[in-house]
Amino acid sequence: MCWRHWIMSSSAPLIAASELERRGVLLIQDGNHGEYRPLPTEFVDFGTSFVRAADLDGGQIAFSRASRINATALARIRKGIGKPGDTILSHKGTVGRVAFASLQCEPFVCSPQTTFWRSLDEHVLDRRYLFAYLRSPVFQQQLDALMHESDMAPYVSLTVQRTLKVLLPPIAEQRRIAGALGALDDKIGHNATLAKHLEAFARLIFERGFSDKLERCAAIPLGEAVGVIETGRRPKGGVSSYKTGVPSVGAESILGLGLFDYSKTKYVPNKFFAEMKTGRVSDRDVLLYKDGGRPGMFEPHVTLVGEGFPFSEFCINEHVYRLRVREPYTQEFLYFWLTSDVVMEEMRRRGTGVAIPGLNSTALRGLPLPVLDAAELVSFTEKVKDVVTLVLRNSAQARKLEQLRDLLVPGLISGRIRVPDSFDPDDVLGTIAEQAGIPA
């Protein structure tokens, strides 16, 4: 549905971002370009976060994986200096990711790929409503219509962003909308936090059982212990040509155990999927991002697929490996082994310094896998299997909540779904979803 149809039932004014800036209600800035941009030598392990599109994850800024710049680079920067309460938008290459800078967030600056949208007058524009609005179809479809206007990679310049329209209901309604969606975001965040704690617990079990053996005991090449190492492929014309069909998970979608960036999901035709000989994904498959990353640097991403995954069938593209090991090794062991510090560093070493950064099949098969007692592997798997299942279930539940939120956003923004003057945030699913005809 065209974004203009979302607002037909709303009496709220639709105002250009440039007009809101002129009124002193809104400020939009992107990161520094040209001579003010940080130099490669100014990126450090500890410093101020330099937020790129890849760091916008599930509505939050993933500071833990953001690059960092030193004080020299920070002193030179003239714009794009973020503040708590900002909404961050990716506008170059990857267009349309949105994240909210929490009120307790650390200092950060925007890269040239990202823009902050900042409310300067909370009596006119609620900052959490602004965050919700930038995620809505009303806004996202405006971006989609403008991101391919040049022959370059997808790009929506700062000038073009200022032409985008903002739906501005009364401030009381903005706050009710922000409160309702915020309750859902809190539930999603709780699930994500629980999943992280559970994974950390399982990793502790792995480290206690095997950390002293990863580098000391005898090893065999991984290729001798795997039954499946395969990649997918793409249909003629590429996956971007298809909007429906069977989901195809690419490297950019893999975030962690059971975690995917669903906004990057592409599709292959049903007929193409039916004819695929490799790349079909099944329960407990381990998926490994095989190439790419920062220029000159390979950064592997690994996940394990299982219970609760929202797609009944899906595949991978040519940038992802699907792995299954033979007994006595297990898929759970394979996941925690691949994501251990020792093996991650070895994969980085093998995948960096080549013409196209990445882990080719020979390098992957040659990874030294420790020879372990079968009883140890069985004992480990029995201890972590249920924990891994809980992680996957929590991730799946968070995904369902995200889908519900995304279904509600356009109706709330347009006014077709009304937020009660007072509501219990714990009952927001039933209160709001009931109006939308969505089972909570």
Omega of the bond leading into 107 within 30 degrees of 0 (cis): no
Tell me which of 254 and 205 has the higher pLDDT.
205
Say if 404 falls within a structural domain: no
pTM above 0.85, yes or no: no
Which of 353, 371, 389 is a domain's end point? 371
Position of tokens 């994974």? 199
Measured CA to CA, the distance from residue 181 to residue 200 in angstroms comes to 29
Q: Answer yes or no: is pLDDT of 336 > 60.
A: yes
Helices in 26-149 by DSSP H: which ranges? 71-76, 127-135, 137-146
Q: Let me know whether 272 and 344 are in one domain.
A: yes
**Where is pLDDT greater, at 300 or 130?**
130
Q: Indicate whether 217 pLDDT > 70.
A: yes
Per-residue confidence (pLDDT) for residue 119, from 0 to 100? 97
Residue 3: pLDDT over 50: no
Average pLDDT over the chain reads 85
Q: What angle do CA 154, 160, 164 make, to 5 degrees?
A: 105
* Closest of 123, 101, 139, 213 to residue 171, by C-alpha: 123
- The shares of helix, strand and coil residues in the chain, as percent rounded to the nearest 5, are 40, 20, 35
pLDDT at 4: 55
C-beta of residue 113 within 8 angstroms of C-beta of residue 93: yes
Q: What is the pLDDT of residue 12?
A: 77
Do 111 and 16 belong to one domain? yes
Beta bridge partners, 320, equal 289
- Looking at the domain assignment, is residue 208 inside a domain? no
CA quadruple 80, 82, 87, 92: dihedral sign? positive
Instruction: Answer yes or no: do 152 and 248 share one domain.
Output: no
pLDDT of residue 412: 82
User: What would the mean pLDDT of 107-111 be, rounded to a whole number?
Assistant: 95
Query: Is the CB of residue 268 less than 8 Å from the CB of residue 246?
Result: yes
Write the pLDDT tens digit of every residue in 5-29: 545 556 678 899 999 999 999 999 9
- Check: CB of residue 129 under 8 Å from CB of residue 25: no
Same domain (yes/no): 136, 41: yes
Alpha carbon separation from 141 to 3, 164, 165, 166, 371 (Å, rounded): 6, 10, 11, 12, 53
CA distances from 232 to 229, 245, 318, 431 (A): 10, 16, 5, 43
Lowest mean pLDDT among 13-22, 54-63, 194-203: 54-63
- At residue 89, the pLDDT reads 96
The per-residue pLDDT for 438 is 47
> Taken in order 88, 263, 64, 45, is the CA torsion positive or negative?
negative
Determine the average pLDDT of the residues in 355-384.
90
Q: Check whether 110 has a pLDDT greater than 90.
A: yes
Q: Which residue has the higher pLDDT, 189 or 420?
A: 189
Whether residue 227 is contained in a domain is answered as yes
Strands 87-92 and 114-119: what pairing? antiparallel
Range of the domain at 62: 3-168
Residues 231 and 148 in one domain: no
Task: Please report, for the domain that includes residue 62, its CATH number.
Answer: 3.90.220.20
> 383 in a domain, yes or no?
no
259 and 337 housed in the same domain:
yes
Looking at residues 234-254, what average pLDDT do you find?
A: 76
Q: How confident is the model at residue 415 (pLDDT cuts 50, 70, 90)?
A: confident
Which amino acid is it at 295? P
Residue 7 belongs to some domain of the structure: yes
256 and 124 in a common domain? no
Task: Label residue 49 by pLDDT band (50, 70, 90).
Answer: very high
What residues contact residue 328 under an 8 Å CB cut-off, 6+ apart? 372, 374, 377, 378
d(CA 50, CA 31): 9
8 Å CB contact between 259 and 344: no
CA atoms of 138 and 401, how far apart (whole Å): 20
Q: State the total domains in the chain.
A: 2
Helical ranges in 224-355 per DSSP H? 270-275, 331-338, 341-351
Predicted confidence (pLDDT) at residue 425 exceeds the cutoff of 50: no
pLDDT confidence of residue 183: 82
Predicted pLDDT at 331? 96
Q: What confidence score (pLDDT) does residue 376 get? A: 93
Last residue of a domain, one of 371, 393, 417: 371
Residue 40 has pLDDT above 80, yes or no: yes
Task: Say if residues 278 and 317 touch (Cβ distance below 8 Å).
Answer: no
The verdict on residue 261 lying in a domain is yes
Q: Do 220 and 286 have their domain in common?
A: yes
Q: Residue range 358-368: average pLDDT? A: 90
Residue tagged 């003057």 (tokens): 421
**Is there a single domain that holds both residue 148 and residue 219?**
no
What pLDDT shows up at residue 23?
97
| Sign of the alpha-carbon torsion through 418, 423, 428, 433 | negative
- Taking 70 as the threshold, does the pLDDT of residue 350 lie above it? yes
For residue 414, being part of any structural domain is answered with no
| Lowest-pLDDT choice from 100-104, 412-416, 434-438 | 434-438
351 and 278, same structural domain?
yes
pLDDT higher than 90, residue 130: yes
Over residues 297-314, the mean pLDDT reads: 80
Residue 273, classed as helix, strand or coil, is helix
Are 11 and 156 part of one and the same domain?
A: yes
Residue 439: pLDDT band (50, 70, 90) is very low
| Three-state secondary structure of 57-93 | ECCEECHHHCEEECHHHHHHCCCCECCCCCEEEEEEC
Cα 340 from Cα 152, distance rounded (Å): 38
Averaged pLDDT, 276-302: 81
Gap between the Cα atoms of 223 and 364, Å rounded:
8
246 and 154 fall within a common domain: no
As a whole number, mean pLDDT of residues 124-129 equals 95
Output the pLDDT for position 18: 96
pLDDT score for 301: 86
Cβ-based burial of 159 (10 A; exposed 0-12, middle 13-18, buried ≥19) = exposed
- Of 347, 371, 395, the residue that ends a domain is 371
Distance CA 334, CA 384 (A): 12
∠ at Cα 117 (23, 107), nearest 5°?
A: 125
438, part of any domain = no
